[in-house]
Amino acid sequence: MLSTIEAREVILKHATPLGVERVSILEALGRVIAEEVRAARQQPPWDNSAMDGFAVRAADALGASPGTPVRLRVAGEIMAGTMPSRAVMPGQAARIMTGAPMPRGADAVVRVEDTESDDPEWVRILKPVEPGRDVRRAGEDQEVGDLLVGAGTRLRPGEIGVIAGAPRAFVSVRRVPTVAVIATGDELAEPDTAPSSAQIVNTSSYSIAAMVREAGARAVVLPIARDDRASLDAVFAEALHADVVVSVGGVSVGERDLVRESLEASGVTMRFWKVRVTPGKPLAFGTAGRKLVFGLPGNPVSCMVSFELFVRPALLKLAGHARIFRRTLCATMTASVKKRKDYVHFLRVRLDREGDRWLATPMGQQGSGVLRSMAWANGLAVGPREMDRLEAGMEVQVIHLDDCWATAEDRPV
């Protein structure tokens, strides 16, 4: 059996980034850009006002105060989206809106709250300003030719906005993988059907498809494959049109565990079978050309943990991401838990902050069929191979599964 690290290395060696496609920037969020984007225009294209107020010559406002205001003649109004038609001469001011181009002659903006007026043709300045005050300079954001976004960047909202201002409406991005998800087993029934007394509901197709989508890939859920070669062969023949195949169940050593046999008959080269982890020991991995094929264990927790450890990093690498692993942190166990020695054990825990430390609380029964433990957990605590027990108070490494939301204690302000 391979270790977690060895198995992951085999998988990632075969996961090479997919091709490139051109998409609208509205569709590019979270994708990895495959080209560099440079500025085609200056941004902003001209000096403009950062505030609503009056464009003035700073020298004209010297000594202004509420007790001794400076009175200037209003020489017009400049709205955002219009170019000024005249210059500001000495002793004049131009009413200006935020984002409007600065008129010739003016070198500062007096905010509207620092003025008063009871005559539309005159304004009283109540506060001096230095040259450049509340003026956005032409090109302060970007100059023509500036590198705005480098190839290989994961596009966040900030990058999308920068690309739009380049200006660009379409970009080339790495293609995200399409993943065929298959649950196998005669005992399975779909959630919208009535299971017989000998059946259980198929949960794995839906949890795994959700994990696929959460990783940014496309999930295609195929019909349940029954425990016979004809059913398995037909489903895998369809599944191998996808970039990645993820099947659940049928990879152990039982008489009806036929997935590995069917995959090999479908032209899949098996790279390994079994990993020294729990839950998730009976993991199969193979390739068909550049396609990746995973046979996950059938227990609902085992398949989800296996996906997290082995499939998710591969999907991110296929999509061109450089950062493909979750954040890990050090936490203190709040309770003792037994584990199987000689196996790395991934325990479902809830992470909570207490002052400047993290606490890891085991989520009840750690059996591989206790699916609710995955709903309650937001972390996987790593139980080292050489131990047979994790004690309360012990420091452990935890893979943070959900670091999107901060608690009230975590918030910065």
Q: Is the pLDDT of residue 407 over 60?
A: no
Count of other CB atoms within 10 angstroms of residue 119 = 10
Q: Is the pLDDT of residue 408 over 60?
A: no
The segment(s) of the chain belonging to CATH 2.40.340.10 are: 328-400
The segment(s) of the chain belonging to CATH 3.40.980.10 are: 4-17+176-318
Average pLDDT value for residue range 68-92: 96
User: What is the pLDDT, as a whole number, of residue 152?
Assistant: 95
Residue that has been written with the tokens 């903006």 in this structure: 109
User: What is the pLDDT, as a whole number, of residue 120?
Assistant: 92
Average pLDDT value for residue range 317-326: 95
Kindly state which CATH superfamily the domain 4-17+176-318 is placed in: MoaB/Mog-like domain (3.40.980.10)
Q: Render 13-80 in DSSP notation, one character per residue.
A: HH-----EEEEEGGG-TTPBBSS-EE-SS-BSSS-EESSSEEEE-GGGGTT--SSSPEEEEEEEEE-T
Q: How far apart are the first and last CA of the chain?
A: 48
The segment(s) of the chain belonging to CATH 3.90.105 are: 25-43+149-174
User: What is the pLDDT, as a whole number, of residue 404?
Assistant: 58
User: What is the pLDDT, as a whole number, of residue 195?
Assistant: 80
The arrangement of secondary structure in 25-43+149-174, i.e. its CATH architecture, is Alpha-Beta Complex (3.90)
Confidence of residue 250 (pLDDT cuts 50, 70, 90): confident
The model's pTM is 0.87
Q: Is the pLDDT of residue 253 over 70?
A: no
Residue 299 CA to residue 286 CA, distance in Å, equals 20
Count of other CB atoms within 10 angstroms of residue 289 = 9
Residue 239 CA to residue 46 CA, distance in Å, equals 55
The highest-level CATH class for domain 328-400 is: mainly beta
Residue 12 CA to residue 193 CA, distance in Å, equals 38
Confidence of residue 272 (pLDDT cuts 50, 70, 90): very high
Q: Determine which of 81-90, 156-165, 250-259, 374-383 has the lowest per-residue pLDDT on average.
A: 250-259
Average pLDDT value for residue range 395-405: 84
φ, ψ of residue 9 to 5 degrees: the values are -60, -40
Q: Is the domain defined by 48-136 classed in CATH 3.30.1330.10?
A: no
Burial class (CB in 10 A: 0-12, 13-18, 19+), 256: middle
User: What is the pLDDT, as a whole number, of residue 29?
Assistant: 96
Q: Is the pLDDT of residue 56 over 70?
A: yes
With contact defined as beta carbons under 8 Å apart, do 225 and 182 qualify? yes
Give exposure, 71-99, as e/b (b: 16+ Cβ within 10 Å). Answer: ebebbeebeeeeebeeebeeebbbbbbee
Torsion of CA 152, 181, 398, 11, to 10 degrees: -60
Average pLDDT value for residue range 292-300: 93
Q: Render 238-270 in DSSP notation, one character per residue.
A: HHTTSSEEEEES--SSSTT--HHHHHHHTT-EE
User: What is the pLDDT, as a whole number, of residue 232?
Assistant: 92
The token duo for 253 is: 């050593």
User: What is the pLDDT, as a whole number, of residue 188?
Assistant: 87
Q: Is the pLDDT of residue 17 over 90?
A: yes
Q: Is the peptide bond before 167 cis (omega within 30 degrees of 0)?
A: yes
Average pLDDT value for residue range 256-260: 77
Residue 40 CA to residue 30 CA, distance in Å, equals 24
Q: Is the pLDDT of residue 403 over 80?
A: no
The segment(s) of the chain belonging to CATH 2.170.190.11 are: 48-136
Residue 68 CA to residue 386 CA, distance in Å, equals 81
